[in-house]
Structure 1
Amino acid sequence: MAYSEYLVDRVKQRLKGAGLLEEKKMMGGYLFMVNGKMCVGVDRDKNNQQDRLMVRVGKLNYEELLEKQGSRKMDFTGRPMLGYLFIYPEGFDKEDDLDFWVGKALEFNKMLN
């Protein structure tokens, strides 16, 4: 399995009641769509085997959010995807930190509707 079921469950709990929730397995990970838009996902870094979040935060606070612990540019192809971040365990292991990142993803998701 290319992602943590435990982390998927932690994220899913936080998305309850956020809108129309769809769950998809894709790109070796697990993706949550809220109201038809990619919101947050879970996968595993193939280089170091660490679980990580994939968080869609938009471009507005992107640079500021990159400074948060565990945050890195989302890069699958050698070219960063602006508005998307990878969050590594030091940035989501604590419940408050996971709340923060899922909250940021939901904030941006609401702007898309």
Structure 2
Amino acid sequence: MAYDEGLTERIRQRLGADPDIAEKRMFGGIAFLHHGNMAVGVSGDDLMVRVGPEATDEALARPGARIFDMAGRPMRGWVVVTGSAVAEDEALGEWIDEGTRSRRACRPSEDRVAASPGSIARPVPCHAAIRPPKACSAASTVACSDSASAPARERRFTP
């Protein structure tokens, strides 16, 4: 899916030469990251904005906003704003400010790593609680997960 180059350029102009902002192709579009955390992005003609879970309802009340839905799974803390709702520079600026404000509240992603002894370190969202690994049973074959958020996989144990 292509993304709106005009909207992308307007975002670049608004963000200026901020050294804390990086661009990365994501979701078939382009994302603007603050210290590795996505703040805003463009997918198709729409603007994606990270508003944080606590500000989702307020953001959804604004014109042109809807919940960000990835593969049928609504993502609280994210909204998609129609391109027509950000046609004016002032409206676009307000959404960009909201996205960068919510990202500045988080630690840089390179510092947000949770690992248990013997596991591979994985980034953890700033709003997620870090949970200890689940224990595996001593059965010969069990479904096990290294962390509460990791997908289960099969492990074989030799008695």
Q: TM-score over 0.5 for the alignment?
A: yes
CA deviations on 1:27-83 (whole Å, 9 max, x unpaired) are 210111111111110011xxxxxx000101101211011010010000021111110
Aligned with 2:69: secondary structure? coil
Task: Kindly indicate whether the alpha-carbon contact (under 8 Å) linking 1:19 and 1:35 is maintained by their aligned counterparts in 2.
Answer: no
Q: Rg bigger for which structure?
A: 2
Q: Match of 2:56?
A: 62
Instruction: Measure the CA separation in 2 of the matches of 1:22 and 1:95.
Output: 21
Are the aligned partners of 1:57 and 1:83 in contact in 2 as well (CA < 8 Å)? yes
1:83 counterpart residue number: 77
Q: Which runs of 5+ in 1 are unaligned?
A: 45-50
CA shift digits 1:3-32 (9 cap, x unpaired): 011111101111225442211112210111
Q: Distance in 2 between matches of 1:60 and 1:19?
A: 28
Match of 2:42 in 1: 42
Amino acid in structure 2 at the alignment position of 1:99: G
- The normalised TM-score by structure 2 is 0.63
Structure with larger RCO (C-alpha < 8 A, sep 6+): 1
How far apart, in 2, do the equivalents of 1:19 and 1:34 lie? 9
Q: Matched residues in 2 for 1:82 and 1:106: separation? A: 17
Cα contact 1:56–1:108 (8 A) shared by 2: yes
Greater helix proportion? 1
Secondary structure at the aligned position of 1:103 is classed as helix
Provide TM-score, normalisation by structure 1. Answer: 0.88
Identical pairs, percent? 36
